[in-house]
Chains A and B, each alone.
Chain A
Amino acid sequence: AQSVSQHNHHVILSEAASLELGCNYSYGGTVNLFWYVQYPGQHLQLLLKYFSGDPLVKGIKGFEAEFIKSKFSFNLRKPSVQWSDTAEYFCAGGSSNTGKLIFGQGTTLQVKP
């Protein structure tokens, strides 16, 4: 069955610390992967996406993610977080065959100034 899981539910970091949020997916066919961010009181915004090509994807605000097919993973990274990165982060995976797009449970990131 199609699923997306995020390992970390709540992460607390100090400013300038490095960030890595885990995301694993299970799909049978071609998979499209996304990371979205939701700042308090706002809509979801797309950070980055992958559906083919270079497995290292760079997104907005200094975020990047690496698609590792052998590990079924698409982890989000940022070398140095800022207080303004405090938000909830969602990984999502879609099947090109069906168009079905599933989200993970989300990770709340709190960055302490």
Chain B
Amino acid sequence: NAGVTQTPKFQVLKTGQSMTLQCAQDMNHEYMSWYRQDPGMGLRLIHYSVGAGITDQGEVPNGYNVSRSTTEDFPLRLLSAAPSQTSVYFCASSPDRGAREKLFFGSGTQLSVL
């Protein structure tokens, strides 16, 4: 059972480049989400999804797009990378779409934008 798989683990981008962070879970969880973690700011919610075909904005959605075409996958797209998007990104899933159960986290992607 792989759990939540994030790729890549590390990425360096130049300002203006685009890329997609991949996230997949094999636990049939309805709820999936993306957070970014920055020192002193905790985890901030970027986007989340309560099921296939349903996505919603979190606290800091600007500059990021998501889609949820299947239950398993929830990719995060950076449209035009900026230095302010340098961060560690975590994907998480949960079996409960009402956020009543614990989150299962991926191992994170460390992104640097130069």
Do A and B pair up? The answer is yes
**Complex contacts, A51 vs chain B, CB 8 Å:** 100
B binding-site residues for A, Cβ under 8 Å: 31, 33, 35, 40-45, 48, 50, 56, 58-59, 90, 97-103, 105, 107-108
A 88-113 binary contact with B (CB < 8 Å = 1; else 0): 00101011111111111110000000
Binds B, one of A14-22, A41-49, A75-83: A41-49
A7 at the interface (CB under 8 A from B): no
Contact of B48 among A36, A43, A46, A100 (CB under 8 A): A100
- Are the C-beta atoms of A44 and B105 separated by less than 8 Å? yes
Q: Residues of A at under 8 Å CB distance from B?
A: 6, 9, 32, 34, 36, 43-44, 46, 49, 51, 90, 92, 94-106
CB pair B102 A49 closer than 8 Å: yes
Return B99 CB to nearest CB of chain A, in Å: 3
| Cα–Cα, bound, A9→B42 (Å) | 10
Q: Are A105 and B40 in contact, CB atoms less than 8 angstroms apart?
A: yes
User: CB < 8 Å: which of A34, A97, A98, A104 contacts B42?
Assistant: A104
**Known contacts A43-B105, A43-B107, A90-B42; A103 and B100 CB within 8 A of each other:** no
